[in-house]
Structure 1
Amino acid sequence: MSTTAESPVKGSWEALLQEAQRLATNQNDAAIPLYVKLVTRLQKMSKIQRYAADKRLQNIYMQAAIDLHSYYNMRERYDEALALLEQIKDEVDQSEREQWELHGISLLKLAGRPDEAIAKLQRMAELPNSDLTTWGDLLITLVQLGRPEQTDAVLAKMDAWLAEQHEDMTTPGAQRDAGYVASLRSMVALEVGDTAAALDWLDQAIALDPEFKNRIPQTYIRMIALGNYEPALQLMRRDKQAPLRTDFWQAFIYFHQDEKEKAKLIWERVARQDLGDEPAAGLMEQLLSRFYLGDPEGKGLSTLLSILNEDTSQYWGVYMLTALGWAMRGNQRNAASNLETAMMQRRANGEGRLLPAESWRYFVDLVSPELQQELARFFEPTADLQAADETPAPVAEAEPSPSAEAASPVGDAEADA
């Protein structure tokens, strides 16, 4: 949250921060020297000075540092972002420090330094006070980096941790931890192409702790991304938490199995659904269903534009879907503008340099080959993206396409993992 007043005194620290924020909002690199000025000058002050008057200067210092860090990320200046991160970690509470450490590891991956990221996570996991989730973070990172074959040693460490920490494996805590390890084995099995083992390990995780039922949608969405349609259909029948989600993805599979009439009937049902008092619960699925139906009345795009009109700080997935709505209508300028915003949001948050490849499938389904050529640059490369560079994929005839996250249709591979 910004620490600036609405009308700061000219020449004050607040005014300088507000000007830097204004420039940064417009992606004007003139913001950088202003932020640097704030950070370096305030850092030189004693903590007593910064903490006076209800931490007035400390709040400005931290806001400027975090803003500058995000701006460096957005501009892919990762060395500077990582250096500034060390200053930020020195100022935050101990309870927040680990999250900043993990954020720094994500930046190392984005900076093309994966081995450093892995080594740092390994050191964190081997600390005497580390817990099972740190080993899990290391395993997930290896999977995200396309190295699932390197996870055996990590799983062995996790098994050893379980044996050391839990003498009685029948306690709720022990079963929860064992379920977590089983869920990770399921994820690894899926990535190495052993779908049967992935399902077996998922069943074991759920048997140990029913909370791991929340892995069901993440697993079948990942299966769909890998083209494992039949086991995904079977698994989604067990997802009782969100009917609109399962309906959308079932139709998505039928669409890609060339059973477009079956897909259309399901999407029409989703599009008609009254979302009630909690529209966010199935909104993304409903919007994507309308897009796959062609959005003939423009309800899908108009809903997204209304959301952005009320609050432009929406997360990147909303901008990506808005771009899809414009691209379906052949509006390259608006589509590119929204994709640019989505991409910059992901960069600023350290989530990725480009938009996730999983989201590209909707553009392949619903957007003209010519426009695909223009928009592919915003997405992580995949086989489909390479195909768009060579032989554009055919456009869906009557229906348009969705977007994906592990519990909603818009999301990252790592979220799905």
Structure 2
Amino acid sequence: MNKMEASFSHSGQRIMTPTKGSWEEKLLRGQELLAKQDESGRVLLQQLIERLFQTPESMRMAGNQRLNNLLLMAIDSLALYLTSRDQFAEAAALLQKGEEVLSPEQRNAWRLRRAMVLLLGEPQDEGFALLKTLILSEEDLQKRFLLWDIYLDKALHWRRFDLAEQALLEIERSVNRASARLDDAAQARAFQSDLAYFKARLSLAQNRVDEALAWMEYAAAQAPLTSGRIYRFVLELIERNRCTEALKWVQRDQENPLRIKFLSGYIHFHLGARAEAERLWRQVVRTFPDAAESETVDMMPIVLSDYYLGGKERLGLGIVLGSMQAQDRITATQFYLAGLGWAMRGEKFSAHSNFKLALMRTKMLAIALKLPREWWLFCKDLIPAADLPEYEVYFETSSPF
């Protein structure tokens, strides 16, 4: 599951049986209308926000900040809706207004969200500038590197290699300064590993694959690479038909054994070794239902392995639908896997519904304008070729090089 699916918002809070005519009832009614894509919900929340902003601060902060929290929840709900409707400037302006009533320690999280919303639209200059301000104001180096990771990802997505190269110069200066004063040698190597990983990503984006491989080797020599970083790198190697190197890198993932086996099978499948691919995928599928008992197991490799094996028993789709019924907040990943399962079976209405919801969730959380390119790779393998054109609209399909 994409970790960016974690929301910045307050919207997970529930209003329990609000009193008729209360502020809480107006908020809940507006949220319910927006959930139905009813524009009257937008009007209701806009009116609620304006009235709460006009309320004296002392009243908003009374009763454990009751009205202030309702104001932030209303802003959050409306901003999510506007983002899902591609109204990025309006959503960003609303979030900026919300920052006025946040405590200082809460503001940076909302500013990051505002930057992410701005980076969905064009031009992106304001979003990059805001994100860079957040980076440079962050004193914790580890948190700063997490923000640089986001910055670099967005720069490479929009092919702003000028921004990516400038970012790498600044990151390198930070790493050199930190390494010179750190007594912790392991931490200094970890920062060097981050820098090398960032250089590998830029090299790969510019299709300098051998250089990228060398930087990844250096990064791994300095500190263990996370499963997520290896996964991203492997998928980009596969897209460039560098499957042999991708297979070697898959084996270096020390965190996610199910993902290792699924991706190993996927690579063998694309190398023409179907029997070996199916052997690996069957091993993954056999971990269910034991894996279902763990809250930390990523179910995506199990579902995809079942799909690649043909999904005749509908195990993968059953896992997804069961998980969706058991959760209040359904992720874009779950909607995508459900859509893919239905599309494989020719159930077009259900497939479109789930892909649309996956895309809406992705945009609402300011992750991207389209569903990930790697998800489209799985679609191309599994959905009947004649049906692919009608689903393409939901996905990022442009070549990365």
TM score, norm. by length of structure 1: 0.84
Distance apart, 1:365 and its partner CA: 1.1
What stretches of structure 2 of length at least 5 have no aligned partner? 1-10
Please state if 1:262 is matched with 2:276. yes
Q: How does 1:158-173 map to 2 (within 5 A)?
A: 158-168=171-181, 171-172=184-185, 173=187
- Structure 1 residues 78 and 37 mapped into 2: Cα distance closer, same or farther (>3 Å)? same
Whole-Å separation in 1 of the counterparts to 2:227 and 2:346: 41
- RMSD of aligned residue pairs (Cα, Å): 2.4
- What residue in structure 2 maps to residue 157 of structure 1? 170
Provide, for residues 344-386 of structure 1, a one-character-per-residue CA deviation record: whole Å limited to 9, x for no partner: 1112111122222221112211112332122222222325xxx
Match of 1:333 in 2: 349
- 1:99 and 2:109 correspond: yes
Structure 1: give runs of 5+ residues left out of the alignment: 384-412
Change in CA separation of 1:83 and 1:128 when aligned onto 2, cut-off 3 Å: closer
1:289 match:
305
Change (3 A) 1:90 1:294: same
Amino acid corresponding to residue 355 of structure 1 in structure 2: L
**C-alpha contact 2:112 2:134 (8 A) present in aligned 1:** no
AA paired with 1:244?
L
Deviations 1:139-194 (A, max 9, x none): 33321212336533322222222333443466334333222212211221222223
8 Å contact from structure 2 (residues 49, 71) kept in 1: yes
1:138 aligns with 2:151: yes
Could you say which residue in structure 2 is the equivalent of 1:220? 234
2:382 aligns with 366
AA partner of residue 88 (structure 2): Y
**Normalised TM-score (structure 2):** 0.88
Deviations 1:320-362 (A, max 9, x none): 1001111111000010111111111112111122222221112
Q: Could you say if the C-alpha distance between residues 357 and 218 of structure 1 is closer, same or farther in structure 2, counting changes exceeding 3 Å?
A: closer
> In 1, distance between residues paired with 2:384 and 2:156?
33
Which stretch has the larger CA shift, 163-172 or 76-85? 163-172
Q: Which moved more, 1:355-364 or 1:121-130?
A: 121-130
User: Which residue of structure 2 lines up, in the alignment, with residue 52 of structure 1?
Assistant: 62
Distance 1:202 1:170, change over 3 A: farther
Conserved? CA contact 2:119–2:154, under 8 Å: no
The reply to whether residue 320 of structure 1 matches residue 333 of structure 2 is no
After the TM superposition, which of the residue ranges 118-127 and 153-162 deviates more from structure 2? 118-127
State the shift of 1:33 in Å: 0.6
CA contact (8 A) 2:227 2:256 kept: no
| Alignment partner of 1:299 is 2:320 | no
Which shows bigger deviation, 351-360 or 25-34? 351-360
1:129–1:288: structure 2 CA closer, same or farther, 3 Å change rule? Answer: closer
1:244 aligns with 2:258: yes
CA distance in 1, matches of 2:387, 2:338: 15
2:200 to 154, 179, 186: 186
Question: Whole-Å Cα distance in 1 between the matches of residues 216 and 311 of structure 2?
Answer: 37
Match of 2:84 in 1: 74
- Whether the 8 Å contact between 2:227 and 2:255 is mirrored in structure 1 is no
Q: State the identity %.
A: 26
| Count of aligned pairs | 384
> Which letter does structure 1 place at the counterpart of 2:373?
A
Inter-partner Cα distance in structure 1 for 2:392 and 2:35: 25
Partner of 1:117: 127
Q: Which runs of 4+ in 1 moved over 4 A?
A: 1-4, 122-132, 134-137, 211-214
